[in-house]
Each structure stands twice: as structure tokens, then as C-alpha cells.
Structure 1
Amino acid sequence: MTTEVRSLREFKMPDVGEGLTEAEILSWYVKPGDTVTDGQVVCEVETAKAAVELPIPFNGVVEQLFFPEGATVDVGTVIISVAVAGAPDAAAPAAAPAAAVPAPAAPAAEPAEPERREVLVGYGPRTGTAQRRARRTTTTTVTATPAAPAPVAPVVPVAPVTPVVAEPAAGERPLAKPPVRKLAKDLGIDLRAVVPTGPDGVITREDVHAHASAQAAVQAAPAAAPAVVEAAEAPVPVPVTTTGDVRVPIRGVRKATAQAMVASAFTAPHVTEFVQVDVTRTMKFVRRLKESGELGRDVRVSPLLLVARALLTAIKRHPEINAQWDEAAQEIVIKGQVNLGIAAATPRGLIVPNIKDAGSKTLSGLAVALGELVDTARQGKTSPADMQGGTVTITNVGVFGVDTGTPILNPGEAAILAVGTIREMPWVHKGKVVPRQVTTLALSFDHRLVDGELGSKVLADVAALLERPKRLITWG
């Protein structure tokens, strides 16, 4: 008789973003006792650059989760152990099946196995060794939260130390994308209680919001009042009263953004210039493109698309602004292509993904790329690669009703264009004061690379193109 030898395999936090040293565990998708297969996503983590999902690189049964949701873990630290099946032990006596019971103990102590550091596809293994965190004596670390599902119902967000996976499972894990799971976690909603309406039973954001609204209506009834009071007394990561200080940890994207902005502000000498622009024709052009569908029926058209095209056209005429300062070599490096960054405000903080080689795209291609970039950012699935290599950035503060600002350069870039809100204002047009659609543009640039003449020419060109957008077709 042969006996199956089972050993423990340990999966360490990989370097998911080229040299990052830590990541925060946002969500566990498995719990001890679950069966996992090679390539299955077991958790979602957030680094200083993006939120990514981690696949397990082997088959087996989850033995232990070493950290709860919300924990920040150093790269190279074991985060999950899995019991895997080994080769049959042919030497085991056929008449003594009980000998198979203690068998897992010996393979679990193999010294060489933990040295293998599995990583995501596209990234190499991290060099050097990391001190292993002491293994806990119980496998119920992550599953030790209250078993009753009642705490999931509050109308205020639950603390991040209350993982969704800690609740008792009832059948298979609900189908939902990571951003939807994050939304449900923030709202304190058990996805198993949400009715899915998406394809193949997938839970959508609308399903979560609908469930949250239904919960709020139920809890607003007098019979539900004690539950709301109890929830308000529980610790939450956001203020629930108007008195007292609240401390919010700075980590992940916000930490990286803060460090980058400080470095940029005190390294590059910033200069900002402003211009008001009559964009009435641009707004009419946007409406025409939408109604005609000439860029494609499913292509999203917005004023930001024409602003991006205007800036790219101006850069083509003045390529010196698409540059980088090389301190070590004491050189100005004029970039061969424009990787256009679009600043995006997300729940995790400000990120700046970029469209690679945006200057070579047609207006239709730029519209598609811009739409995909925005959708990916909103879903929280922007990859680290999409946020690297930017050469110039647009920040649209107008969506918040703001007229203008003095944007800080994205580190390593020479210019950033801020677009203000579009307002109807009195304007002199053809000798008469009439209402026109007007916006304010602000261009910040690194005065080491860009002097006042170059910066002014670029800003004036963008303004001229937005005043008469048909030039976007003829200028080049």
C-alpha cells in the first residue's frame, strides 16, 4: 500500500512593482481549509503604486494565513502556507497505514524549499533574504473574528482588521471583481447576501450599492435602532462625530504620492503660467463628434480628449518640452515619444497612469486609449507598468468645479497642464460682449529645462487649438 506524503509550501510576498519593499493586504479570497490550484488568485494587495492580485503558484490546501487584512507586509515575508501532495511513499509498510499520520512533519522542515520565492508573471525574484516571521501556534489567526454575520450589517465602514473571509462560509465564494469586493468591504456588506445581476452570476457595483440602500432602509426603522447605535460605538477608520482627532495612517499610494510631490517641489524649480480660453467651438466640436459617431459608436468623447490632442500637437511643434533632467550626467534628455499621463483621483489616492506613445495615435485611437485608462483607474486595476515612464501630464481640476491651480510636476517630467472648469462667461466675440464657454489653462514647467519662451509658446499653442479645434486636423 502506498501513502501520500503531504508537505507545506510557503508563498512569500513578492516584489510586484520593481523594487518596492512592502505591500498592504487588502483582501483574502481564501481561508484555512480551502483547496487552491496553480494560478488561483488568493489575495489582493496594495503597493505604493497600485493594487494587484496575487496568484498562488501551486496546488494544495490552505494551511495558514499569516497576516490579516489591513496588515502591511515586507516583501519576502511568508504570507500563506499550503499543504501540497508529494510523491507516493513507496517505502511505507503496507501493513502499517498509521505510519502515514506523522509523515507531514518531516517534509515541512525542509530547509531549501522556502528559499524559492514565487513572483508574479513579468517580475524577477527579489534578491537577498528576508527574516521569516515567527509562525503562529494556531491556524485561526485570520478566522478568529466573530462568527455571527450580524456585524456585517452596519451602515458605517467596518475596520480593515475584520476580513471578509473570516465570516462563516456558506457555499462557494461569490463572484465579484476585486474593486467590487473592496467596495463591499468598505461598506460593511457581506457579498454572500448580495443578489447578483451581472453575467454568469457576477456581483456588480450596482448590486452592492442596491444592497447597501436596502440595508439602510431597514436599519432606519425603529426596530433596527439598537443595531445602528452599537455600530456607531465600534471603532471605525473614519470620524463618526464632529469632535476629537482622527489619525489616518499614510501608506500605499498616498504615501508614495506624498514623497514624490515633496521631492518634486523641492528639486525642480516650478514656474506656472495661465491663460483663459474661449472653448465654445471645442464644446460644439465635442457634441458633433458624439452625435456623428465618426470616432466610433462605442468611443467616449469628452473635452479632455481634445485638450489631450491639443497638448500633443503643441509638443510635436515644440518637442523640447517633452524632456527630462539627468542630474548625474548634467544633461537634458529630450524624449523620443510622448507618454501622456492623466492624473486620476481614486479611493486609494492620486495616481498618474500614462498612455504610451500617445503622440503617434489618431484622434480615435487616443479616445479609445483615454477611455480604457480612465475605466481601469476607476476599477482600481491600474498596473505598476502603466504608471511608469510618463513624460508629460494633464490634470483635470475642472471636474471638481475648480477654475485653475498651480500643479506640481510629476517627478521626472518637465511639464504638467491643469485644465479648469468650463463656465459660461461674458466674452468679447466679434466686437460684441456675448456669453461664451470659457476655461482657464495652467501650465507648470521645470525652469531648468523649459524657459519662459518655450513654456509660453506651448501654452499659447494649446489655447489656440482649443479656440479653433479644426486646427487639430490641419496642424502637425
Structure 2
Amino acid sequence: MTTDIAARYREFKLPDVGEGLTEAEILKWYVQPGDTVTDGQVVCEIETAKAAVELPIPYDGVVHELRFEEGVTVDVGTPIITIDVAPGTPAEAPAAAAPAPAPAAEEAADAPKGRQPVLVGYGVSEASTKRRARKSEQPAPEKAAYAASVQAELNGTSVAAQPVAPQPVAAQPVAAQPVTPQPVAGERPLAKPPVRKLAKDLGIDLATVTPTGPGGVVTREDVHAAAAPAPVAPTAPSVEPVVSRETATVGDVSRETVGSAGAQVPAGPRETRIPIKGVRKAIASAMVNSAFTAPHVTEFITIDVTRTMKLVAELKEDKDMAGVRVNPLLLIAKALLVAIKRNPAVNAAWDEANQEIVQKEYVNLGIAAATPRGLIVPNIKDAQAKTLPELAAALGELVSTAREGKTSPAAMQNGTVTITNVGVFGVDTGTPILNPGESAILAVGAIKLQPWVHKGKVKARQVTTLALSFDHRLVDGELGSRVLADTAAILEHPKRLITWA
């Protein structure tokens, strides 16, 4: 039983896993050609401009072909894997064609021996379908001389022009010599898409690369070889290093400073170039857009958080908080949510198209998280409605998911206000840039033991600095100051979490 080829092989195209994404990078393949897959099985991991996402396959069958290698950026809608959904079934053979008349002897000698293999996306080579226009027939002796000159050129020798007598010349067998095909001038060099991207990233012109692959195809090794710097033979130093001498007189003492003006530069690469793509590319675009669109204002306040740190220690021992992570960030987040409740106008967005300020009745609290792929800002949906244990659980899940690189694009959308904790790096404070579409972002500095005036005496207290940046188009100085002051007041006296809530 046979089956149609088009029905047997199914192509899985790269989907849009976010809202309006145009491309994604293939991070890792979990399958290889010949592996059996089932509907819903994850076959690869991709990185979009927002997050890393695992892709399931919607077919049952056997992997026939992986269309791209790991590390390649692919446009949405491009086939990335081919599945054989009817493995083991012979494909339907094409109908037999009517026998063609036998060609003339001279045409048969010049006809191509078979169809030239080509790469995907190049089409069929002209040499495989069209016969080259023939010139006038040369005498056999001239053909033999021409062939000998070509063979000599391939062997690296030259042949002087000799008069040829117009008489038959016995054909001599010529041993076949392995010749690496070279690209013809004016033609596009043959290379697979991943190799073309590699050459582009390294700044290598494929036309200048010597191909070593079958059929004159440029390989990854060819590109790397072309990009490698030419070896330089070490030379022994023949000149004494230039020595600079400076004499300075201090009092009655004369001092001479001797230094080498020809310090040796360490061997090895001097630069490392990293392609801007994925999350890093999206962050750069978003930060530039935010910095030059929303007028930023940043205010600072330094506070004593000793009481908050004591409450954190007590909550860690509370049985109602068992199973969740309790840390200062939890109480800082709760304090900010209470401050927003007392000053709801800060939780808004600027709608430039409609010339409106959009007041949000919910708080999607973003938490900036550093990951191996860059900084991302997932948010806790409806954080204002969560109890302290629920907020702690949501924070723990958000951070662990981000560190594993499994944050979904939906988790990073529709944020309203963000917290960035620069204190974990030992930094005292900073001037954070707003996430696009948000009105405020709070930076939390390191909590350190410092001298502080407490009840009229200088004592060692736990101190930190808060920095609040806000969009001055919709948050004026008074409103921003109230939000920052309320957050600080709660952290200085955490009992206000109860009285103000």
C-alpha cells in the first residue's frame, strides 16, 4: 500500500507564542531525526523577546528533519521540523513517463549524468535541466590538447603551447584527481541557512571562503577557518625595550623613576562580540523607549527598618507562614501595596493615542528578576487582593520560575507598578527606569547595620534607602512623595500594615 508524499510528511511551523512576536531563537532540540514523537510532546525550547518557551508537537510520527540548528533565530511561521506521520509506508511512485527518443551520440556525451543536488531554498541548478549551448565542433587533437592543459593546471604545472599535427591521437587513460569544487564567479556560494547566519555574525563574506563540503558547500568549519586570524611566527626581540626615566627632586633627595614604554601586550582575543537578540534585545528597546518617552522623576528616602527586620524573623517562626519564603522583600511589597491603596492615583497609565490617563483598579505588581538570559519583570496579578501568606507564595513561585527560565510571556504582560531589589547586590540605591506602560518603580537598596539616632541616642540600627521613579506626566511631585513617604512609614513601623490596611 502506498501513500501520498504530501500527506505523509507534516511541517510544524514556528508559532507566535506571545502577542505580535515576529521571531524566536531555537535554544535546544529535545529530539533528533529518527526519534518517535507523540501529539503534545515537547520537541524544542525557544527564546522569544519576552521569555523562554517549550514547544509541543501536534503530530504523532517519526522526526524526519530538523530544519534549523540550535542558536538560529527563525521568523514566526517558518517550518522548523518535519514529521513523518506514516513511517514504514512506501511513498507513492510517480507515474511512468513515455520513453523519450534516444539522443544523438554527440548530445549523449555532453548530457549531465544526473540531477545535481542542491540546498533547500536555492531551487534546481540550471545545469541539471538545460543543456549548454554548444560551440562548433573542435578537431579531436585540439580537444586532447585542451584536456591536457586543464589537467596540468589542476596538478599545479604549466604546459607550453606545442603545434599539434592533424592526425589521430590515441586516448591515454588519465587517473582521476580529487578536486574541491570552487564557486563560479558571480554565483551565490552554496551554504545552509545556519552557516550563512554564522558568517553574517562573524562578518565573513561567503564568496571569500573556500568550501570543503560535498558539492562545493561551505561548512561551519570553513567559516570558522576563514574567521581565524592568520598565524604569526614568533620573532625574537632584537631591540632593547625603550626605557623612560623621570627625575624628581624632593627636598635634598633626587629620585629617578624608571619605566618601560614598550610593555608587552598579553596574547589572546582582545574583544568578545555577543549578538543582541532575544530578551536582551527586547530590554534594550523597552528601556530606550521608556527613558525617552516618559519624563522620569526619582525621589529618595533613607529609613530605619530595624522593626521590620524583627517582624521578618518572627514571621519565619509563625506556623501560618510555614511552607512559604519570608524575607524583607515580602514586607516591602506589602507596604507598597498599602501605600498605593492610600494613593490610588499613582496606579495609572498614560494613553498617548487617546490623550487619557487610565486609572487601574487592580495592581499587577512586577518583580524585577535577574536570569541567565537577562533581566525580566514578571508580575503578580491582582496583588492588592492577596493576603500576606498568599503574597509570599506568589513571590516564591515567581522568583523560582524566573530563575529556571520558564516564565511565560503572559506573566510579563499588563504590569502596573514594579519593585527592583538592587540591595541583593550590595548596592545602596539607584535611579530605576520605568517599564513601558507603568507609572512607578521602587528600588530597594541594601539593608545594612549603621549608626542611627534612635530615641535621642546614637545606636546601631538596620538602615536602607528607597528610591521611587515615576512618570511625571501623570504623577506630580506631591503624589509621588506621598507614596514614597507612606511606604517608608510602614517599614519603619510595620504595625501600620494593620492600622492603615
Q: Give the match's secondary structure for 2:336.
A: helix
Is the aligned partner of 1:382 residue 2:369? no
> Retained in 1: the 8 A contact 2:369–2:399?
yes
CA distance, structure 1, for counterparts of residue 470 and residue 429 of structure 2: 15
Could you tell me which of 417, 429, 443 is aligned with 1:418?
A: 443
* 1:69-80 matched pairs, under 5 angstroms: 69-80=70-81
CA distance, structure 2, for counterparts of residue 303 and residue 78 of structure 1: 47
* 1:359-438 matched pairs, under 5 angstroms: 359-438=384-463
Residue 143 of structure 1 deviates from its aligned partner by 13
CA distance, structure 1, for counterparts of residue 55 and residue 303 of structure 2: 47
Q: Give the match's secondary structure for 2:320.
A: coil
> Retained in 2: the 8 A contact 1:31–1:143?
no
Letter in 2 for 1:450: V
CA distance, structure 1, for counterparts of residue 22 and residue 4 of structure 2: 35
CA distance, structure 1, for counterparts of residue 443 and residue 455 of structure 2: 28
Residue 309 of structure 1 deviates from its aligned partner by 0.1
> Retained in 1: the 8 A contact 2:330–2:391?
yes
Could you tell me which of 294, 298, 303 is aligned with 1:268?
A: 294
> Retained in 1: the 8 A contact 2:50–2:279?
yes
Could you tell me which of 62, 82, 103 is aligned with 2:92?
A: 103
Residue 135 of structure 1 deviates from its aligned partner by 8.4
Q: Give the match's secondary structure for 2:85.
A: strand
Aligned residue in 1 for 2:237:
none
Residue 101 of structure 1 deviates from its aligned partner by 3.8
Letter in 2 for 1:275: I
CA distance, structure 2, for counterparts of residue 101 and residue 365 of structure 1: 58
1:438-472: CA deviation from partner (whole Å, max 9, x where unpaired): 00000000000100000000000000000011211
Aligned residue in 2 for 1:204:
none
User: Given the two structures, how large is their TM-score scaled by the length of structure 2?
Assistant: 0.65
Is the aligned partner of 1:345 residue 2:370? yes
Q: Give the match's secondary structure for 2:301.
A: strand
Aligned residue in 2 for 1:52:
53
- The change in CA–CA distance for 1:14 and 1:135 in structure 2 (over 3 A counts) is farther
- The change in CA–CA distance for 1:419 and 1:83 in structure 2 (over 3 A counts) is same
> Retained in 2: the 8 A contact 1:426–1:436?
yes
Letter in 1 for 2:121: A
Residue 67 of structure 1 deviates from its aligned partner by 0.5
Aligned residue in 2 for 1:323:
348
Is the aligned partner of 1:456 residue 2:468? no
CA distance, structure 2, for counterparts of residue 294 and residue 42 of structure 1: 41
* 1:5-404 matched pairs, under 5 angstroms: 7-85=8-86, 101-103=90-92, 134=121, 243-295=269-321, 297-404=322-429
CA distance, structure 1, for counterparts of residue 395 and residue 79 of structure 2: 38
Residue 419 of structure 1 deviates from its aligned partner by 0.1
Q: Give the match's secondary structure for 2:81.
A: strand
1:331-370: CA deviation from partner (whole Å, max 9, x where unpaired): 1111010000000111101100000000010111100111
User: Given the two structures, how large is their TM-score scaled by the length of structure 1?
Assistant: 0.68
CA distance, structure 2, for counterparts of residue 32 and residue 76 of structure 1: 21
> Retained in 1: the 8 A contact 2:3–2:91?
no
1:23-49: CA deviation from partner (whole Å, max 9, x where unpaired): 000000111111111101100000000
- The change in CA–CA distance for 1:10 and 1:311 in structure 2 (over 3 A counts) is same
- The change in CA–CA distance for 1:323 and 1:104 in structure 2 (over 3 A counts) is farther
Taking only aligned residues, the RMSD between alpha carbons, in angstroms, comes to 2.7
CA distance, structure 2, for counterparts of residue 84 and residue 142 of structure 1: 26
Q: Give the match's secondary structure for 1:294.
A: helix
Letter in 1 for 2:72: A
Q: Which runs of 5+ in 1 are unaligned?
A: 89-99, 107-132, 145-232, 235-239
CA distance, structure 2, for counterparts of residue 385 and residue 351 of structure 1: 12
CA distance, structure 1, for counterparts of residue 499 and residue 331 of structure 2: 14
> Retained in 1: the 8 A contact 2:2–2:92?
no
Aligned residue in 2 for 1:216:
none
1:407-465: CA deviation from partner (whole Å, max 9, x where unpaired): 00010001000000001110000000000000000000000010000000000000000
Letter in 2 for 1:281: R
CA distance, structure 1, for counterparts of residue 493 and residue 60 of structure 2: 61
Identity of aligned residues (%): 71
> Retained in 2: the 8 A contact 1:66–1:135?
no
> Retained in 2: the 8 A contact 1:45–1:52?
yes
Q: Give the match's secondary structure for 1:9.
A: strand
Query: Looking at both structures, which has the greater relative contact order when contacts are Cα pairs under 8 Å and sequence separation is at least 6?
Result: 1
CA distance, structure 2, for counterparts of residue 12 and residue 410 of structure 1: 32
> Retained in 1: the 8 A contact 2:434–2:440?
yes
Residue 242 of structure 1 deviates from its aligned partner by 7.0
CA distance, structure 2, for counterparts of residue 25 and residue 343 of structure 1: 25
Q: Give the match's secondary structure for 1:449.
A: coil
CA distance, structure 2, for counterparts of residue 104 and residue 25 of structure 1: 35
CA distance, structure 1, for counterparts of residue 500 and residue 93 of structure 2: 72
- The change in CA–CA distance for 1:27 and 1:433 in structure 2 (over 3 A counts) is same
CA distance, structure 2, for counterparts of residue 381 and residue 101 of structure 1: 41
> Retained in 2: the 8 A contact 1:30–1:43?
yes
1:57-108: CA deviation from partner (whole Å, max 9, x where unpaired): 011111111100000000000100011129x9xxxxxxxxxxx7442789xx
Letter in 1 for 2:303: V
- The change in CA–CA distance for 1:104 and 1:80 in structure 2 (over 3 A counts) is farther
- The change in CA–CA distance for 1:351 and 1:250 in structure 2 (over 3 A counts) is same
Letter in 2 for 1:260: A
Residue 294 of structure 1 deviates from its aligned partner by 2.7
> Retained in 1: the 8 A contact 2:11–2:83?
yes
Aligned residue in 2 for 1:164:
none
- The change in CA–CA distance for 1:325 and 1:347 in structure 2 (over 3 A counts) is same
CA distance, structure 2, for counterparts of residue 74 and residue 409 of structure 1: 29
CA distance, structure 2, for counterparts of residue 72 and residue 254 of structure 1: 14
Letter in 2 for 1:420: G
Q: Which runs of 5+ in 2 are unaligned?
A: 96-119, 125-191, 196-227, 230-265
> Retained in 2: the 8 A contact 1:65–1:142?
no
Aligned residue in 2 for 1:203:
none
